[in-house]
Structure 1
Amino acid sequence: MVDQSPGRQRGDRTSLLALVADSGNRRVLTDWISDHDRYELAEGGPDTATFDLCILDSEMLEREAATLTARKEETSTIVPVLLVVPDGQAASVHKELRQERPALWDLVDGTLRMPVEEYELADQVDTLLELRSQSETLTRQREQLEILNRVLRHDIRNDMTVVLGWLEYVAGQASEELTPEFDRIESSAEHIVELTTAAGDIAKTMSSDAEPELEPTALTRVLVDEAEKRQNAFDEATIEPPESPPYATVAANELLSSVFRNLINNAVQHNDADEPVVSITVRELDSHVQVRIEDNGPGVPETLGDDIFDDEMKGMESSGTGMGLYLVSTLIDLYGGEVWVEDNDPRGSVFCVELETIDHSTVGTGE
């Protein structure tokens, strides 16, 4: 079956679309394409033609900008655009596009100075076509990984539901002396389920190339709701919600709750105190809001510091995978905020999240 998606060709030939207003440059390009068996000249415009690479000059770039933008947005792989510029005007054209016409410059993947040597033309074309090929490969791999991620999380959660069910039954038949051991097993099983949730949130955050859709979100309500849920999940801990917190609205999405869920989970699950205590406060700082989640645990080793948020970081004594904190860092970066860790007094850690507060009318308006 022949793939008729944008850019995929009949047989093994690669299709090049030449949209050049200058007749001399257009003739040079079309003759070069015709002289090479592995290429063919695409027919039509950028809205109807099937092509692997588009070659155009500044005049045609401006004329076809809307169509090329739509074409690039509607396909998951790269649609390479090679811009032809006169050799003596290359610097000025580049400067004008970068500084004065950034939307047009964003469409360009490479530039070609005319007149051009044949080897230079071949090199530019081959480079962009290789870029497209790598993009297609990465897209396929990402789709496969997304499917694998969904299947694994689904199966793990189903199996752990069975494990927890049998654990509850066995615990009811065992002596009270084994209750602490059963509680630890149950906590570990529930932690596995939470890790599948974190993995799903990470995949959801990183799988899209589009800009995230953020909307006004009541940070305080999300934080208090999550604190209550975490208290219900951890009977052995005391989770103190913020007292009379200020009302704060931030630009975020539905994954904001994942930030606080994972930070509170981390404060409880890695706490070695006889009575784990997690205290949450909210501060208003001019145009920002700061959430501080304090615990009385062992603290973060000085050798780790803020590296604890890295995707491959894991404390030597930690039973976790580090995925939760990596998700926190990824989401806060997505929201344009900051997250860091401080030492608590007399012991423990303070995880700090700072986000810019907004007015409802500014979200999505570009202000």
Structure 2
Amino acid sequence: MQKCSVSPKHPRISLEIFTSVVCMLLVRFQNLQYLSLSKLPKITDFVTLDSHFFGSKVHTLGLGYCTEYSDVEFSLIFSWFPCLRDIDLIHSSITDEGLKALECCPSLQKINLSGCRSITDKGLESLAKCCSSLKEVRLSRCRRITDSGISYLIQNCCELHSLSIDGCNKINGTGFQECPKTLTHVEADKCRLQPEGIKAIVSGGGLEFLSLESRELAEFEVGSINTRAVITISKGCPLLKELILTNCEDVQLEGWDAIGRNCENLERLTVYGCKSLCDQGLQALDNGCNKLSKLCVDNKNNCRRSTLERFKRDKPEVMIYKQNGLDAIDKEYCSLYSRWF
């Protein structure tokens, strides 16, 4: 597979020469499949007459941090690459109008719009209708989108399997209602999730990865990942393999007990900042989660070292990590293992 990632590092090369050279290279390499123009100057001002030939085989395009393009210029670029399957537009200047132009890329499967501040529900509606084959969508920190935009994706993109909405503080989760079973991966840190929203997120029953973080100064039942939320997740996600709970201070013993009893396929659990995880909660996890192989803890958890040691004795196959590496308990086990063998 041919790849191309270009950078104007030479101080004596003018912008016009650089962009002209880029266009000539694209015309020259007809089998190019991967192209990154991220963080580069605009090339649309110096397009050659042969430009409509050079993108026929490119399926992965990087336009991250391209903040000088207008929607018209984004549209021109998209028209060069009709076979696109993966596009990165992180922190770019694209707006709702620019997303409409992706109708010329009907095979698009992955798009990263993280940090695109101008994107609204209207843009997601256009995207969902013209690119119904989307499988992975990243919308982190797109703070103007709401559950209506998420609903457009859920209803139109029947093959969607991964959706990231970290930091989208206008989303409460209800837009996930009737989500397809193909949706296996959701990242929803620091959203304003409500109980009905949590139910909607797990309604498809196919989740294997879920990452949640309580919002700072979260209101009661709004943005707080609490015991009720965790019980809903544990019952609604029988296939869950990895669960990340960050700063979820309101998850009490009943929640940890629900994870231990219901999450039979859980392999990796992260509980950073979960202050209410105490000895009894860890014991509840110990009593279940028989497929667990990785547990990530930190000093904010309210578990005694002796309880962690007992957990390790009961589940020697589980590696216990702290935020900066292996826990001392696992380091001791690794040392013993190396001496035995």
TM-score range, shorter chain: under 0.3
Structure number with greater CO (CA < 8 Å, separation at least 6) is: 1
Bigger proportion of residues as helix: 1
Q: Which has the larger radius of gyration?
A: 1
